[in-house]
Every structure is written in C-alpha cells, then in structure tokens.
Chains A and B, each alone.
Chain A
C-alpha cells in the first residue's frame, strides 16, 4: 500500500477514535443540565468521564499533529480556511476543560452554575461544529489553484453542513446518554437509558438523511457498505438500549459513530479537501502529502507507539469500569 494511503487511513483512524471517545464525553456535557437534576447528579455525570476526558482529547491533538506531519497542505488549508469555526471550537474546549477541573473547587452555587454552563456550551458547540466542518470537507470548499480557501464564513454554513452538525450533535448526545446509563447506578441510570432511546431515534433519522445526502455528493462501494453498517449499528444499539442492555447499547452507538466517520473518509478518498472551483485546487492524499522519507519515519513511530498508547488507555477504562452513583460523591 502507498505510504500516502496508509497515512490517510491513520488520520481517518485518529479522527474516528476521537469522535467515538470524545463523542460520549461531549454527550455527557450536553446532557448535564438535562439529566443532572441536582448538584450531586451533575457531579456523578462529570465523574463518569473525569478520569478519561483529557486522554480522549489527546486523540484530537494527535490527529491534528498527524495531519500536519503527513499532509501539511491539508492541515494548512483546512485550518486557515475554517478559521472562525475552529476558533469557536478552541474557545469551547478551553472553557470546558477548565470547567471540569475548577467546578468543584468552590462551594457557591453561582460558581458551579457558571461552570455547568461552560461544560454545556463547551460540549455542544464542538459537537455541532465538528459535524459542520467534516461535512464541508466532504462537500468540498472553494479553493484556488494555490490551494488557498477563498470562500467566506457563510460558505461553510450550507444546508448539508448544518445537517451534518445536527447529526453529530444528536449522535454524541445519544452516545453520552448511553454512556451515563452504562456508568451510573440509581435513578439517573434509568432516566439516562430512557433519554438515550428518544435521542437515538432522532439521531437515527438525522444520520440516515445525512449519510444518504453524503453518498449523493460523492460515493464509493466502501462508503455505501460503511453507511449501511453505521445505520444498522445505530439501530442495534437503540434496540439494546430499549431492553436495557447498556454494554451492547454503548457498543452500538460507538460503532455507529465510528462507521459514520469511516463513511465520510471512504467517500472522500483519494481526495482530502476537494475544491468546488478550480479542480487544480483540490487537495488529494498525494499532492498534500509530505515526502516519503517523513512518512516512513512517522510510520515507524506510529507502528511502535500506537499499540502502547491503546494498551494503557484501554487499561484506564478497565480501572475505572465501576458504575458510580450519588453515594460515591463526597460531602464537601
């Protein structure tokens, strides 16, 4: 396989991992005001993702780094072109990350309410905007022959991209509700499970519409198969959620998100950022790539370190596999 193809796959895998993992912790954040009826319940929710959210976010940093190293043109055009959405994502991630750490550091209700808002908006905004961004990548954006983005902000806010944003937000909210049901005990668990089913139906409708629209824009056999698999996984997850098989439900929503992201990458390949203007402006896995020397070095680094990272990150999930409930939250 070509090195550029390997790195296209690796970048796809990193973003897929990022959306599966941070997907549920975005979901938990978005549902904080909905499922968390009092301070203790909100603390339970935050503590379900407490030990892992930071590690989940490193998937994004690694995906960005891998894109920079393997496809500098893609990284440069995308990040400068999607300037304002990425700014909003950054501001959201800043507020949210600090909120997790600082929320319980003072007892006042007003203090906690402010950080709860930071967690809610800090999760909702990226959950929508990542969908908008990836839909635009797939749809293509106006690039000139120098691969410079020449559209404005409004160009990114087209109906297809907005549907993409609604889809990711709904999928992540469902994924988060399933995760809360999986990781908690008591009253909140039952409410989370019920909410997961209702959210899941909306997410399924949006996802089917979005993926179908996607396949009319660009498609491949692999993309069709993956899209169908994503829909089936989501339906399977919802069925499991309905009968309160939370482990299977989470497997289903995780697989659905992973397969949906994979659909986008499969449909996109071999392009990485199509141009809607000058076809010469289109960035592909070949013309956006680094030299074979750099890709070779990076491949060895990835081959050696990725299994180690997966092992210890997986182990963390195992360590914190226990359900928690309001009884576990300390008084102060």
Chain B
C-alpha cells in the first residue's frame, strides 16, 4: 500500500459518500418546489403538508450534501496537486463558475426558504425554493462538464513548454458531447432517487396508518413519486443508451470493460451474466443476447465492438508499454448492478401505481411494504455503481489519453498524512451516516405536520411572531 492507493481510496469513498446526498438534493429540491407550487395554485392544504414534510427530509439530507461537498473541492488540491497543476487552466474554471453561479444561488435561497416561512410574501417564498432548486441543478452541469473533460478531453492543447494542458475553447469544454449526455442521465438518475423516496415514505404511512385523515396526501405522494420514478427511469434508459454509443466512440476500452469483451466482435452479443477466468481466456457460464452489444455500442446490430485485448495492444503502441485495462470485474459488475438496481426501482414504482389503480386503497401487504422501503435504496445504489463504473472504467487514466492517475497524485503528501485523512473522513462520515439515517427515519415516521394557514405578512414589522422553521 502506498500513498497513491490510499489517496485513490479516499477519493472513491468521499465521492461515493458525497453522491449519496447529491441525488436527493437535486431531485427533491425540484419535487418540493413542485409540491409548494401546487399548494400555491390550488390552496389545497394537502400540498402544504407534503411540502413541509418532504421539505424537512430534504433539509436533513441537504446539510450532509453541503458539508461533504467542500471536501471535494479541497481534495483536488490536497491529494491530486499534480493533476490540479496539469489541468487547472481548464478544470478550475467550471469549478469556480459552479461556486459563483450555482452554489451562491442554492445556499442563499435555501436560507431564505427555511427562515422565510410566514415571513416572506408567499410568492417570493415559493420563488426561493425554485431558485435554490435551479442553483442545485445548475451546479450539476458545471461539475459534470469538468468530469467529462477527464473522460473525453476537448477544447485544449498540450503545451510542451510548461507540460500543462491549456484551454483553447471554453465553449467546447461546456458542450463536450459526454457532458451533454451525462447531464440528463445524472439528473434523471437523481429524480429516480427522489421519486422513490416520496413513494417509500408515503407507502409506509398508507400501509401502517390506514384511513387516517392524511391518507389523501400520502396517496398523492405515492402516485406522484411513482410517476416521477417511472418517467426518470425512462429518461435514464434513453440517455444511458446514447451515452453507451458515445462511450464506444470516445472510450472504447470502457465499453469493452463494461462487458468483459476480450476479443473484438462483429456482431457482438450483450452479456447478461458471464462467469469465467479474469483474463477472458475461459468462460464457465455465459448468458448472452446476440447482436445487442453491437446495437447498444454502435446503433447497428452488426456493428463492430472492439475487445480489450486489441485495445490494450493499440494503446501500448500509442502510449508506450503498460496496462491500459481497467479492473474488469469492477467495471463488469458495477455496470450490471447500476442497470439492475435502477430497473428494480422502476418495477416497484409500476407495482405501486398498479395497486392504486382507479382509486383503490393500497393493499395491506407486508411484501409491498418491504418493496416500498427498498425503493429509495435501489436507485441510490444504482447511482453509486454508475459512478464507480464510469470512474473505474476510465482507469488507468485520470485524464483519458493525457495523464495517468498515478501521475496526478500529490508528491508532497506522505502516506501517514493521507492515511490520517482517510481514517478521519471515514470515521466522521460513518458516524454522520448513522445520525442522518436515524433522523430521516424519525422525521419520516412522524408524518406530515399539522398546518394552520398563516396570514399573508401584510405588516413586516410583526417582529414578535415566533420564527417558523427556526434552527
């Protein structure tokens, strides 16, 4: 074990952890904004209750997303300083813009929304949650544009005098075709999580507290959440398909690694499940769908999909001797788990809608309850495995074709230092995870709050009124 390995593990752990909170922040901010808009438009108290209820869950999650996000920005410089030097001219700009354009919007208007209940005029208060939601979604674009540069570097030139990559076309970086398709894929993946959370919590209340006064509110949330889940699952599949084709062009090794495809094939079949030796020389068991991989990768059922062995030979000739192959079991399984967990969530959403068809009450089924509770966990895992796939599939590169991961690590940071930070982050993150999940369950169980309609604050000097939603 050396400092490089620990730095990689730390980046992996802190990033996957950070991204447990990000999808909920992205998706739930918009869903809460929609709920509040429904209340604003219809005056139906059910929507206000749901806004406050899911708003609380959103904020419990949001805090974790914020604090774990700062680590990400610092970590590039702290642990990957040679990477930062190499790409700073290109990579720093989207990060700075993300902070200036998106994070200020998000954080400022979240503050206004939390403390603005019954204090701001209703319209302005509603606008606050929308502004925060827009800020959150906007931030995703900039960071994905930065990440896409690592997958498919564009809009730059290598300056041999400085040994650095230099920006030549910022628009090209922002309209990187990988970024353009990764953004809707990631956002839809986030809504998959948020929709699933709506369903899980609502379904629990519908089954546990039958015929309560709040049943209509939970019924709405369960159905709304199910539709969000289904629609986002559809978008995830469509964008994922396009992403696969782009990946086959710009990172053929990643596609081959996703499939464990060692020899170039035309037509190539999609492996549903293959068990074999790691170097691909022997297959013990294989379940394959003919032509599918060719179609997924190239759009043509007879198209050629390059195999790992040929690509490895080509890259060795191009970049010099060395391994250019990612860890195949990781890419192979993370790719499959991403798809499997995502589809499972969509299937449960379909089931939930089916059980409530034409106004039927939710059946009192233990299995439905369990399926519902599994729902938010499934797309979260799908999100994690998607990122593990896309980042591990890029290896050994930190910037594809330009810089190896091992060359990007900080030279001045010792093994002891990085072990210290890795241990510290892992410990504090583990403790906070337990606290966060317990709080989420506590507040989810508490159910929708009582809401007494507040008067429009006609007199803003009404300073004696207690704060709503105070810390």
Contacts and interface: CB of A to CB of B under 8 A. Distances in A.
A312 B471 contact: no
Contacts of B164: 72
B364 interface: no
Given A95-B428, A329-B470, A72 B89 contact: yes
B70 A93 contact: yes
A75 B465 CA distance: 47
Interface in A99-152: 100-106, 148-150
Contacts of B68: 94
Interface string B142-180: 000000000000000000000010111010000000000
Interface string B44-77: 0000000000000001101110111111011011
Contact of B104 (A150, A313, A319, A320): A313
Interface string B110-131: 1110111001100000000000
B125 to A, nearest CB: 11
A52 B93 CA distance: 26
A90 interface: yes
B85 interface: yes
Interface stretch (A53-61, A190-198, A272-280): A53-61
B88 A316 contact: no
B466 A72 contact: no
B413 interface: yes
Nearest to B98: A65
A224 interface: no
A36 interface: no
A281 to B, nearest CB: 12
A209 interface: no
- Which of A86, A102, A327 gathers the greatest number of chain B CB atoms within 10 Å? A102
A80 B71 CA distance: 13
Contacts of B196: none
B167 A294 contact: yes
Given A75-B88, A312-B108, A91 B428 contact: yes
B428 to A, nearest CB: 6
A65 B73 contact: yes
A79 B85 CA distance: 12
A225 interface: no
B470 A61 contact: no
Contacts of A305: 100-101
Interface string B167-211: 110100000000000000000000000000000000000000000
Contacts of A329: 466-467, 470
B121 to A, nearest CB: 11
A34 interface: no
Nearest to B64: A98
Given A62-B99, A322-B463, A51 B112 contact: yes
B412 interface: yes
B410 interface: yes
A178 B77 CA distance: 35
A329 B468 CA distance: 9
Contact of A72 (B85, B107, B428, B465): B85
Contacts of A58: 99, 103-104, 107-108
A69 interface: yes
A293 B82 CA distance: 21
B32 to A, nearest CB: 16
Contacts of B78: 79-80, 83, 86-87
Contacts of A309: 100, 104-105
Interface string A174-187: 00000000000000
A72 B84 contact: yes
B79 interface: yes
Interface residues of B, number: 77
Interface string B90-106: 11110111111101110
A55 B128 CA distance: 14
Given A101-B59, A294-B89, A68 B466 contact: no
Nearest to A45: B471
Contacts of A323: 463
A43 B96 CA distance: 34
Interface stretch (B280-288, B372-380, B416-424): B416-424
Nearest to B142: A65
A81 interface: yes
A66 B73 CA distance: 11
A84 interface: yes
Interface in B329-380: none
A97 interface: yes
B89 A50 contact: no
Nearest to A49: B471
Nearest to B421: A87
A291 B154 CA distance: 16
A306 interface: yes
B432 A98 contact: yes
A46 B471 contact: yes
B470 A47 contact: yes
B92 A150 contact: no
Contacts of B168: 293
A84 B417 contact: yes
A64 B84 CA distance: 12
Nearest to A75: B77
Contacts of A97: 63, 66-67
B96 A90 contact: no
Nearest to B91: A68
A57 B465 CA distance: 29
Given A50-B471, A51-B115, A105-B60, A297 B170 contact: yes
A313 B106 CA distance: 11
A70 B89 CA distance: 7
Contacts of A50: 111, 114-115, 470-471
A104 B89 CA distance: 43
A100 B62 CA distance: 12
A328 interface: yes
Contacts of A98: 63-64, 67, 432, 435
Nearest to B85: A76
A301 B425 CA distance: 34
B99 A80 contact: no
A330 B467 contact: yes
Nearest to B115: A51
B418 to A, nearest CB: 8
Interface in B415-454: 417, 420-421, 424-425, 428, 432, 435, 439, 442-443
Contact of B443 (A46, A55, A105): A105
Sorted nearest first, the 7 A-B pairs with minimum C-beta distance are A72-B88, A79-B77, A69-B92, A65-B96, A68-B92, A101-B63, A76-B81
6 contacts: A47-B470, A64-B73, A87-B420, A291-B89, A293-B168, A301-B93
